[in-house]
Amino acid sequence: MIRETLGVAAFVLAAVSPAAATTTATTIGSYGARFRYPAGREGVLPMTGAQALRVRSLLAIRKPMRFGDYVWNDIGVTASGKVRVRVDLPRQMISVFRDGHEIGTAVILYGTDHKPTPTGTFPILMRARQHQSSLYDAEMPYMLRLTNDGVAIHASSVRRGSATHGCIGVPLSFAQLLFDQVARGDPVTIVGA
């Protein structure tokens, strides 16, 4: 069961006083603006097994996200910055950062107790727009392989009651946007409880 959450924003904003974050006029759909941190007062997000991420801005998501929801907004964010991905298993969320700015977030599926999703920081080992799992005979669109034993981020039908065999399932449209942002070697951090 997914908790009603404001995504990574609630977690990072706790580390910096609310007055330190300001809201700009950029809006996407009904989700609202971007929270920007003043220079020198950025939020810091732990990244298991990797250097902490200094967060310059977050998507301002003002309503709970549900299974299948995602937000993507890279308006005003440099197109050439370093991309980092953070998967938060307890919150069932993925966040994509470019140059310290959160540009995308989505509700995810992850592995069951019998086939858990590993935690740690993993480089993207392989990318494929269309991939067929040889182990489970399942389509894995926009596959980003993280481990040699097949754990990947890929498009999935993200709905209540579903799980994966250790992979991270994201909505199809989000998977396509993510695929177009990352390259082989880019780090993906998966944090657990």
* Contact partners, residue 103, CB within 8 Å, separation at least 6: 59, 72, 73, 74, 77, 96, 97, 181
- Report how far residue 164's alpha carbon sits from residue 59's, in angstroms, rounded to the nearest whole number: 27
Query: Which listed CATH number (3.90.76.10, 2.40.50.140, 2.40.440.10, 3.40.50.10210) goes with 8-191?
Result: 2.40.440.10
Q: What is the percentage of the chain residues whose pLDDT exceeds 70? A: 78
What is the structure's pLDDT at 140? 72
Looking at residue 166, its pLDDT comes to: 76
- Judged against a pLDDT cut of 70, whether residue 147 lies above it is answered with yes
Percent with pLDDT over 90 in the chain: 40
- Give mean pLDDT, residues 72-98: 92
Q: What share of the chain is helix, strand, coil (3-state, %, to 5)?
A: 10, 35, 55
| pLDDT at residue 139, as a whole number | 76
Q: Is 59 helix (H, G, I), strand (E, B) or coil?
A: strand
| Residues 11-25 as b or e (16 or more Cβ within 10 Å = b) | bbbeebeeebbeeee
Phi-psi region of 7 (alpha: psi -120 to 50; beta: other; left: phi over 0): left
Most confident of 2-16, 108-122, 128-142, 149-163: 108-122
| Domain spans in the chain, listed from the N-terminal domain onward | 8-191
pTM to 2 decimals? 0.80
pLDDT band at 131 (very low <50, low <70, confident <90, very high): low
Q: What is the DSSP string of 141-174?
A: TTEEE-STT--EEEE----TT--BSS-EEE-HHH
Amino acid at 112: T
Confidence of residue 29 (pLDDT cuts 50, 70, 90): very low
Write down the mean pLDDT value for the chain.
Answer: 79
Average pLDDT of the residues in 92-117: 91
* Residue 102 reports pLDDT greater than 60: yes
In contact, 41 and 12? CB cutoff 8 Å: no
Instruction: Give yes or no for residue 162 having a pLDDT over 50.
Output: yes
